[in-house]
Structure 1
């Protein structure tokens, strides 16, 4: 079938997806005017007419710019005559705002409506923070799991699995980490936390069902690193001699990296769902693993069906 790939920034992940599909990754330009307004410019827009177009763009980092940018790009592509738009948004900004006041939907519902109104026909995301987000959309949404990639990476990184305990840093991660622990064949530690303020958390307790002394924390997002650091402090006091972290979406806001390093965490492993600044990527504390094959396997099915 005839399709095109387009992005607002040529990240490592976007380029790997394009290479795997043997397709050119085209660029759209996200411009900002002096008054702060954004505009998307599409070169040679005629080439998208009557084609399926795949937008590849996470909306983290510059979350407001990229959320609006993806919507503007979708609208522009539809105006250029694109037949169908599939948005591959590995990390969906605002996905942690799924709940509003009094049990009502959170701001993520507005983002979902924005994407649909802009012309996106189908969404592919990676490890959405909350499965409830999918109900905000009326278009098809595929939530790609990278559990198998994490399992393979842990097995390679820690060959002496009998020493390993997987750590779920909060209740939201319990089921996810339990699946990985069961697949690998190790025990786990279940932690719980409470949130106060916008970006502050307090770890309440951690319950271990494991005899290992190497803790491997697994979660979908690492933002400020506060929860990970608090868990590490607590478990180091209980005798865990080494601590590591696996995180799918590395937001790494502010001094998150330094906070985790000072907490006693030996190293973290993060996916390439979000681009890291060159200076951050060069820190030996951080290792990046690739999730392009997880996305491509799903995307190929979508494209083959057309």
Structure 2
């Protein structure tokens, strides 16, 4: 077995290869003058673990090309971050179900698919190969333990992320809650933990994805005003679009923590060990 990856998943791929005690196949990437992508993969094995986060359209095309280049090997596809996965429903006639379109495209020619904290697990049914999802919630929790925070409150940004917050909190047997919005007037809204107090303790706001960071940035200021000693933000997928990292730090967030499913300067947690564990078994429909 060898590991191979697309261009924007190189760090995670090398960490996974170390965990698997194998090597990473060299891939040469280039672009034609008209903008079309091109790649050449090195020597493959009978079994190939392909690591590719779909972080943008180029990454998606690279993945499709790499799957085709490896067609003579048994491909086990690992998708640490799957772009388009949040487009999982059709709100009006004529709209594509984009998560389905992408899942179908990237699962042709592979024997199984492994995703990491996919935003909506129901998307797995769209893959043309057996698919399963793994979680880094406890790994995020393990990293938070290294911060040596005293009595931290693990806080989800909404009730939809409460289960994720609970999993993170279980790593340290910490209290957890979710933010609740209260409208004070036509324009004024406040946010606070639904049941627990943030006063005189550090707060870690956790979610599977941080995209624009707007909600967390707003909440950080309010939590500080409510007496939180520090506010941290932690997630699996640090999309951090539109200046989100700066927005969070300027809003008073002490640190932003994410994993290497999307490779960032603040990627403190690796998905490599969880993926290696998942690869020990095969997916079934």
Query: Which residue in 2 is equivalent to 1:59?
Result: 54
Query: Which residue in 2 is equivalent to 1:292?
Result: 272
| Inter-partner Cα distance in structure 2 for 1:43 and 1:16 | 19
Query: Which residue in 2 is equivalent to 1:36?
Result: 35
Query: Which residue in 2 is equivalent to 1:236?
Result: 224
- Local SS of the residue matching 1:26: coil
Q: Alpha-carbon deviations, 1:264-297, whole Å to 9, x = none?
A: 1111211111112xxxx2xxxx461222111111
Q: CA RMSD in A?
A: 2.5
2:111–2:130 Cα contact (<8 Å) kept:
yes
Query: Which residue in 2 is equivalent to 1:17?
Result: 16
Query: Which residue in 2 is equivalent to 1:251?
Result: 239
Query: Which residue in 2 is equivalent to 1:72?
Result: 65
Q: Does 1:87 align with 2:77?
A: yes
| Inter-partner Cα distance in structure 2 for 1:251 and 1:180 | 19
Shift of 1:204: 6.5
Query: Which residue in 2 is equivalent to 1:262?
Result: 250
After TM superposition, the runs of 4+ consecutive aligned structure 1 residues lying more than 6 A away are none
Unpaired runs of 5+ in structure 1? 194-201
Q: Give the 3 Å change call, closer, same or farther, for CA 192–208 of structure 1 in structure 2.
A: closer
1:171-190 map, 5 Å: 171-182=159-170, 184-190=172-178
- Local SS of the residue matching 1:11: helix
Q: Alpha-carbon deviations, 1:121-142, whole Å to 9, x = none?
A: 2111111111121121131112
Question: Which structure features the higher share of helix residues?
Answer: 1
Normalised to the residue count of structure 2, the TM-score between the two structures is 0.86
Unpaired runs of 5+ in structure 2? 182-187
| Inter-partner Cα distance in structure 2 for 1:180 and 1:273 | 17
2:180–2:194 Cα contact (<8 Å) kept:
no
1:203–1:227 Cα contact (<8 Å) kept:
no
- Local SS of the residue matching 2:69: helix
| Inter-partner Cα distance in structure 1 for 2:249 and 2:174 | 25
| Inter-partner Cα distance in structure 2 for 1:137 and 1:216 | 34
